Structure formats: C-alpha cells, structure tokens
Structure 1
Amino acid sequence: MADYEIRPPRGDEFAALGELTVEAYQLGGLLEDVSYEDELRDVSRRAEHTELLAAVDVSGRLLGSVAVVRPGTKYAEISRPGELEFRMLAVASAAQGRGIGEALTRAVLGRARELGAGRVVLCSLDRMRIAHRLYERIGFHRLPERDWQPFPNTTLIAYGYDL
C-alpha cells in the first residue's frame, strides 16, 4: 500500500507545487529559459486552465504533480479531439524512486478513462530519457508524426497511450 495519495491540490499548496516543479525541471537539466521557469512556477494560472493532480504523503508533504489538459485549451500542445494530454509532470527530488511519476501518469490514464477519451498524449524533451523509459514501460508508444520544435534546438517528442 502506498504511503501517499493522488488528489487535486488545494489552493494553499499551489506555491509549494510551483517550487517543486521548478526544482524538478532544474535538477533534470531541463530549464534553459527563465520564462518557462515562470510558467512552471505559476500553478494558480495553470489551475485555471487544466485539471491538476498532486501526490501527497500521509503527513501532507507534496511529492509531485501533473497537469491534465483537454484538447483545444490554453495548455494543449498536441492533443486532438477525443484525446487527453498531460504536461508538467514533476516529482520532488526527495521522492525520486518511489513510483510517484508512474502513479501520477496512471492517475492521468484513469482520469482519461473517466472522461471517455480514446487516447492520452504527451510531448517530452528529446533528452528526457528517464521519463521516456517510464512512459514506454507503462505502455505509451511514440507518435513521431507529432514531434515538434517550439524553439530552435528544442525538440519535443510525442507519445500516445491508446485506451
């Protein structure tokens, strides 16, 4: 039995989730752009346009989070009608190796089933090899036709999971 739960975060947890997300991206060497750091930190804004999920341990400590994104909304990047997308998956450094990233990803899959989506999609920096292994282990497959470059020298690769 897990010693944490996956649930929507409370508003008073947004600031801490923002810092957790920035820290996770910094530790992964994924932050080169300060403007993206600001976006990662702004959980209040993200909560207005996405459905947030947080992993929280029994003592109330935040362990990770993810944004669930519907197609055609502000945070959607590659999703199409009938799909659900997720973004900004982050796990606190102190919680690495506990299955938090997998639990959050599986919670997204569960939410997609509840909403009747046919597929869950995501895009990930091409150098995020650990995340790619996680997605592939769960059953995601590559969608190379949806790979894209939001900026020069920044390639995002796409994955999908058919429900």
Structure 2
Amino acid sequence: MTGLELRRIHRPETSAAGDVCVAAYGPFLARAGDDYRRRLHDVATRDEQAEVWVALDGDQVLGNVTYCPLGSRWREIARDDEGEFRMLAVAPAAQGRGVGTALARLCEDRAREDGATSMVLSSLAVMSAAHRVYERRGYARDPGRDWSPRPGVDLLAFTKPL
C-alpha cells in the first residue's frame, strides 16, 4: 500500500484510533458489552502499558495494533520467548488494502528486536478475515492454547516461528 506510514501512536491520535478499534470490532461486539467497547476505545491506556502502533494515510488513522512486550500486563498467552500482539484493528473503509498485514509485520519485527523466537495471538473464531491475514503471514492454529476469558467468549490461538 503506497503512502502508508507506520509508527508509534501520538497522544492526540488515541481517540481516532479508539474509534477505529470500535468500528472494526463492531460486528463482533453484540455480546461483549459496554465494558469491552470502552476497553477497545481506551488506546491511551494501552499505549501506557504496552505499545500502540498506527497505520496512517496522511493524518487519517487507518488502523492500529497493540504490541505487548515482555512484562506488559496486556500479554495474554505469550511465553517469555514469544512476542504477542492484540487488538489489531483496521478501519472498515481501509480493510482489504494491506493495512492489517503491515501492522502484523511490524509487530513481528518488534518481537524479533526483543529477541522473541515466535509470535502468538488470540482471535475470536468468527473473525475469519483476520485469520486469512494471519495465515498469509505464516501463522498456524495452536488449538492447545485456545482459551476463554469469560463464558461465551472463545478465543483461538495462532502461532508463528520468527
């Protein structure tokens, strides 16, 4: 994708990035409740406790992702030698343009910088478009690490050697 800038988020962009997260996850939030919507929108807190990276076209936030370095409270299933990212979100109007792939690649590069030997992530079973992005990037399902943060929310685990 031409014209795409990837970088750490700047504080004034956190609300727009939160809007992108809520819009991207919107079709999957019917049972999530307002608490999860607020958590998705609270990009500023995630960036304080992990690393939020954005994909921009000019000043427009097209997508964002939370990279969870070792020690971050946002890590869910990663072991010490693994990288993990969460809440990869692409604005609905920008989906299918390579934004998600670029953000996933960025997280893989960050994990390598941190000395990780593999990358892990969790995804809702219904997020088939995201699964296709992960599979194209070389991720494979790891059913032994599937988990549920709460009843009725089943997450699939994916792993990739780096």
| TM-score range relative to shorter protein | over 0.9
Report what 1:118 is aligned to: 117
Tell me how large the CA RMSD over aligned residues is: 1.2
Name the CA distance, whole Å, in 1 between partners of 2:111 and 2:11: 23
- How far 1:71 moved relative to its partner? 4.0
Normalised TM-score (structure 1): 0.94
Among all aligned residue pairs of Structure 1 and Structure 2, give the percentage whose two residues are the same amino acid. Answer: 45
Report what 2:74 is aligned to: 75
Change (3 A) 1:107 1:31: farther
- Residues 38-77 of structure 1: per-residue CA shift (max 9 Å, x gap): 10111111011111110001x2111000000024421111
- How far 1:9 moved relative to its partner? 1.0
Report what 1:103 is aligned to: 102
Aligned runs of 1:30-69 on 2, under 5 Å? 30-32=29-31, 33-57=33-57, 59-69=58-68
Change (3 A) 1:120 1:99: same
For 1:4, give the aligned amino acid.
Answer: L
For 1:142, give the aligned amino acid.
Answer: R
Deviates more, 1:93-102 or 1:1-10: 1-10
Name the CA distance, whole Å, in 1 between partners of 2:70 and 2:154: 21
For 1:154, give the aligned amino acid.
Answer: V
- How far 1:29 moved relative to its partner? 2.6
Aligned length: 161
Deviates more, 1:66-75 or 1:77-86: 66-75
Change (3 A) 1:31 1:120: farther
For 2:42, give the aligned amino acid.
Answer: D
Q: Does residue 137 of structure 1 match 2:146?
A: no
- How far 1:31 moved relative to its partner? 4.6
Alpha-carbon contact 1:31-1:37 (below 8 Å) kept? no
Name the CA distance, whole Å, in 2 between partners of 1:73 and 1:97: 30
- Residues 102-137 of structure 1: per-residue CA shift (max 9 Å, x gap): 010011111111111111100001111111111011
Name the CA distance, whole Å, in 1 between partners of 2:30 and 2:116: 31
